[in-house]
Chains A and B, each alone.
Chain A
């Protein structure tokens, strides 16, 4: 019997009052905190008679140290950082400036370089960064500004009163596997806030609660996602230039799946490479970690990595549903930022700059609300207006239909992208519809047992220990670590479905799409079907793929005990 994590009912909880609580210390949350601090400092300098305090502004971050759960390529478009901290380049940890880029189309053995790099993928002027190092630096600035970052604390529940979000409950600590309090039990706090800002990243767990509670997805396209599986490598000198950017399309994916790879040359012969697989594939046997391993076996990539050493591994989902999938971003007592809102340009494969910008705009809104002591929907909705009038919309509107165009494969996608290019993003329809990715999964009886042209993508990666790795070896390199004695934070609402319907219909795809070997169907004598679900929750790297891709939508990812999770140092 698996016990699942949920906030303990009917216990007395400590309370704390807050002005603004930012949930999530990623680029958007930290930018929000920094901008808010700047505005308060300016105000205090101009109005000595009515000082505002930063004392009660908090950032909640589930990782033990700032930025340890952040994973991205990453290329940074510096536009928003230049607005936030002019001249930031002088002190921020930037690994390289992009010097050359190329896009390749791969077949199983060959590569074809696109004669010109499509404009959206031109990256001159952008920087290669480690999002981990970069946001760690932002976090230091936030702390230095006098805003408290609570590391190791997750938001486990929204506190809602009527139509108003009135705060956040933090995670209960010290609960054992069976859900009982241990001797060092610490109940989660009820953090009462005038304004809760959700900056949880892709598929935020509180954002999900909020969207469901207030039907925020009404009249919107469903959000669609991809999962990026990444390895950081140290390669011999001369393999790739510092600041060199390579994108690939094609192999190992077929024309039916959406996705592609990135390879960025960083400093000290460090290479960031990863493969994004669209979480809207048909074949439930597809395994994104295997796809990355298969990709590395391509002669072009194998040569690049030969003699090198893999130093870190990780995975993270990313939202690429585009503008039509963005929910309302403000309401009574709340705002949503960055990836949680879906501010990501799927054509340019970039979202950090938009996340930062959205954080800044939310900060401006929260500041104004503070000076007026008004955190109502009407007041906070000026954040929506700010977004609509900013370059966030200017950038996302022309690509509003981009990803939907690819939902029926690459060839149609290319066609739609072309039409959209000459019609200002409109394409054939005003608004391209979309379906949630998990609905595209087909049952096994409709698929060829061998997988045909997908055969090379199916089955667990074995790994040679040099170029390619099995999943557990990769997971080890994510540095993920959790308190073992705690309830499962992967909440499966009906485990019977796993052993009965899912085994027959989809073959338990959780075992395939999870890049961290969390899910396992193990032999069990006394259950119907002879198999039961085992959850290795400690392996989890917090990518949220299961929450997104499970065909029955019975998995809910909730934050584990604060402090647990991957260690994405340098990622």
Chain B
């Protein structure tokens, strides 16, 4: 199987964030890391390859710094990488990112495309699904398990409240992978060293521009929320407090 894994570089979870000057996104001077859900997608792809043979390709879109996520993917065992390299890719919405990916891989024949469930920064959870739509492929989200079958795959999806759904799907298909379904491997010294000599194809903005449209979604303004939390102490006997509480839950908060 030939599997493409879409990976994103996101600010580290504990990075102190600052707004940029236009107030539309954060300032760039933070540390970045691999979007954690994508790490699980990569791990799943590598395991499928180990089981069934084939090839794993990692792809990302972003400025030069984002090459780091591809290096990490290659170091862990991906065979090659595709980098849509331009700072302009950062500002694309999910629809345009998916279009850019589709344009960049139109010459390749993948059996499967994996993405993480969502990104830690925007959290759209859309890019994978939109990509399937653009490719004209079926997709399934929140995947817990993938088993190869004759002529297709059987996947297990996580639903709410402890329910799962088992689906037979044809290939090719797009799957968005649930986090935590496998145990991430470590990159090894030899893996990191070999990654330097693995093929990395760069795609410029110009090569895919004709496939892109206007962003349908954009961030107008980003601001740090003002703390408005107010604590109110209820006093009285336990019975009185309970009564007041029920009153408030009914009439003020309206959850009862």
Tell me which residues from 101 to 130 in chain B have a Cβ below 8 Å from any Cβ of chain A: none
Most chain A CB atoms below 10 A, which of B29, B185, B186: B186
Q: How far is the CB of A55 from chain B (nearest CB, A)?
A: 9
Query: Does B184 sit at the interface, judged by CB under 8 A?
Result: yes
Q: Identify which of A153, A481, A569, A570 contacts B189 (C-beta below 8 A).
A: A153
Known: A183-B183, A184-B183, A569-B15. A16 touches B189 (CB 8 A): yes
Tell me which residues from 193 to 233 in chain B have a Cβ below 8 Å from any Cβ of chain A: 193, 196
Contacts of A570 in B (CB 8 A): 16, 29
Q: Are A569 and B16 in contact (CB under 8 A)?
A: yes
Contacts of A312 in B (CB 8 A): 16
Query: Does B134 sit at the interface, judged by CB under 8 A?
Result: no
Query: Does B192 sit at the interface, judged by CB under 8 A?
Result: yes
Query: Does A65 sit at the interface, judged by CB under 8 A?
Result: yes
Q: Are A148 and B196 in contact (CB under 8 A)?
A: yes
Query: Does B190 sit at the interface, judged by CB under 8 A?
Result: yes
Tell me which residues from 464 to 487 in chain A have a Cβ below 8 Å from any Cβ of chain B: 479, 481
Query: Does A328 sit at the interface, judged by CB under 8 A?
Result: no
Q: Are A174 and B190 in contact (CB under 8 A)?
A: no
Q: Identify which of A170, A184, A569 contacts B184 (C-beta below 8 A).
A: A184
Query: Does B12 sit at the interface, judged by CB under 8 A?
Result: yes
Query: Does A68 sit at the interface, judged by CB under 8 A?
Result: yes
Query: Does B90 sit at the interface, judged by CB under 8 A?
Result: no
Known: A148-B196, A569-B31. A186 touches B16 (CB 8 A): no
- A174 and B192 CA atoms in complex are apart in Å by 18
- A170 and B185 CA atoms in complex are apart in Å by 16
Bits for A179-196, please: 1 = Cβ < 8 Å to B, else 0: 000111010010100000
Q: Are A311 and B16 in contact (CB under 8 A)?
A: yes
Q: Are B187 and A152 in contact (CB under 8 A)?
A: yes
Query: Does A529 sit at the interface, judged by CB under 8 A?
Result: no
By size class, the interface of chain B is 10 to 19
Q: Which residue of B lies closest to A16 (CB)?
A: B189
Query: Does B242 sit at the interface, judged by CB under 8 A?
Result: no
Query: Does B252 sit at the interface, judged by CB under 8 A?
Result: no
Contacts of B12 in A (CB 8 A): 479, 567, 569
Tell me which residues from 292 to 335 in chain A have a Cβ below 8 Å from any Cβ of chain B: 311-312
Contacts of B193 in A (CB 8 A): 16, 148
Contacts of A173 in B (CB 8 A): 186
Q: Are B186 and A16 in contact (CB under 8 A)?
A: no
Q: How far is the CB of B255 from chain A (nearest CB, A)?
A: 30
Tell me which residues from 169 to 224 in chain A have a Cβ below 8 Å from any Cβ of chain B: 170, 173-174, 182-184, 186, 189, 191
Contacts of B33 in A (CB 8 A): 64-65
Q: Which residue of B lies closest to A561 (CB)?
A: B186
Q: Identify which of A148, A182, A567 contacts B31 (C-beta below 8 A).
A: A567
Query: Does A14 sit at the interface, judged by CB under 8 A?
Result: yes
Query: Does B30 sit at the interface, judged by CB under 8 A?
Result: yes
Query: Does B244 sit at the interface, judged by CB under 8 A?
Result: no
Bits for B4-40, please: 1 = Cβ < 8 Å to A, else 0: 0000000010111000000000000111010000000
Contacts of B192 in A (CB 8 A): 148, 150
Q: How far is the CB of B33 from chain A (nearest CB, A)?
A: 8
Q: How far is the CB of A271 from chain B (nearest CB, A)?
A: 15
Bits for A138-179, please: 1 = Cβ < 8 Å to B, else 0: 000000000010101100000000000000001001100000
Q: Are B184 and A567 in contact (CB under 8 A)?
A: no
Q: How far is the CB of B22 from chain A (nearest CB, A)?
A: 17
Q: Are B31 and A65 in contact (CB under 8 A)?
A: yes
Q: Are A479 and B14 in contact (CB under 8 A)?
A: yes
Q: How far is the CB of A218 from chain B (nearest CB, A)?
A: 35
- A16 and B194 CA atoms in complex are apart in Å by 12
Contacts of B15 in A (CB 8 A): 479, 567, 569
Known: A311-B16, A567-B15, A570-B16. A186 touches B186 (CB 8 A): yes
- A16 and B16 CA atoms in complex are apart in Å by 38
Contacts of A183 in B (CB 8 A): 183
Q: Identify which of B30, B183, B186, B190 contacts A14 (C-beta below 8 A).
A: B190
Contacts of A567 in B (CB 8 A): 12, 14-15, 31
Q: Identify which of A153, A182, A191, A569 contacts B183 (C-beta below 8 A).
A: A182
Most chain A CB atoms below 10 A, which of B183, B188, B190, B196: B188
- A157 and B50 CA atoms in complex are apart in Å by 32
Contacts of B30 in A (CB 8 A): 569
Q: Are A68 and B189 in contact (CB under 8 A)?
A: no
Q: How far is the CB of A478 from chain B (nearest CB, A)?
A: 9
- A186 and B192 CA atoms in complex are apart in Å by 14
Contacts of A189 in B (CB 8 A): 188-190
Q: Are B16 and A68 in contact (CB under 8 A)?
A: no
Tell me which residues from 137 to 178 in chain B have a Cβ below 8 Å from any Cβ of chain A: none
Contacts of B190 in A (CB 8 A): 14, 16, 189
Q: How far is the CB of B44 from chain A (nearest CB, A)?
A: 14
- A184 and B188 CA atoms in complex are apart in Å by 12
- A526 and B185 CA atoms in complex are apart in Å by 40
Q: Which residue of B lies closest to A563 (CB)?
A: B186
- A287 and B74 CA atoms in complex are apart in Å by 46
Q: Which residue of A lies closest to B14 (CB)?
A: A479
Q: Which residue of A lies closest to B188 (CB)?
A: A186
- A170 and B190 CA atoms in complex are apart in Å by 12
Contacts of B183 in A (CB 8 A): 182-184
Contacts of B196 in A (CB 8 A): 148
Contacts of A14 in B (CB 8 A): 188-190
Bits for A57-71, please: 1 = Cβ < 8 Å to B, else 0: 000000011001000
Q: A148-B196, A191-B189 known; 5 other A-B pairs, CB under 8 Å?
A: A65-B31, A184-B183, A186-B185, A186-B188, A570-B29
Show 27 A/B contacts (Cβ-Cβ < 8 Å), sorted by A. Answer: A14-B188, A14-B189, A14-B190, A16-B193, A65-B31, A65-B33, A68-B31, A153-B189, A170-B189, A182-B183, A183-B183, A184-B185, A184-B186, A186-B185, A186-B186, A189-B188, A189-B189, A191-B189, A311-B16, A481-B14, A567-B12, A567-B14, A569-B12, A569-B15, A569-B30, A569-B31, A570-B16
The 8 closest A-B pairs by CB, nearest first: A479-B14, A186-B186, A173-B186, A184-B183, A189-B189, A184-B185, A311-B16, A569-B31
B interface residue numbers (CB < 8 A to A): 12, 14-16, 29-31, 33, 183-190, 192-193, 196
A interface residue numbers (CB < 8 A to B): 14, 16, 64-65, 68, 133, 148, 150, 152-153, 170, 173-174, 182-184, 186, 189, 191, 311-312, 479, 481, 567, 569-570
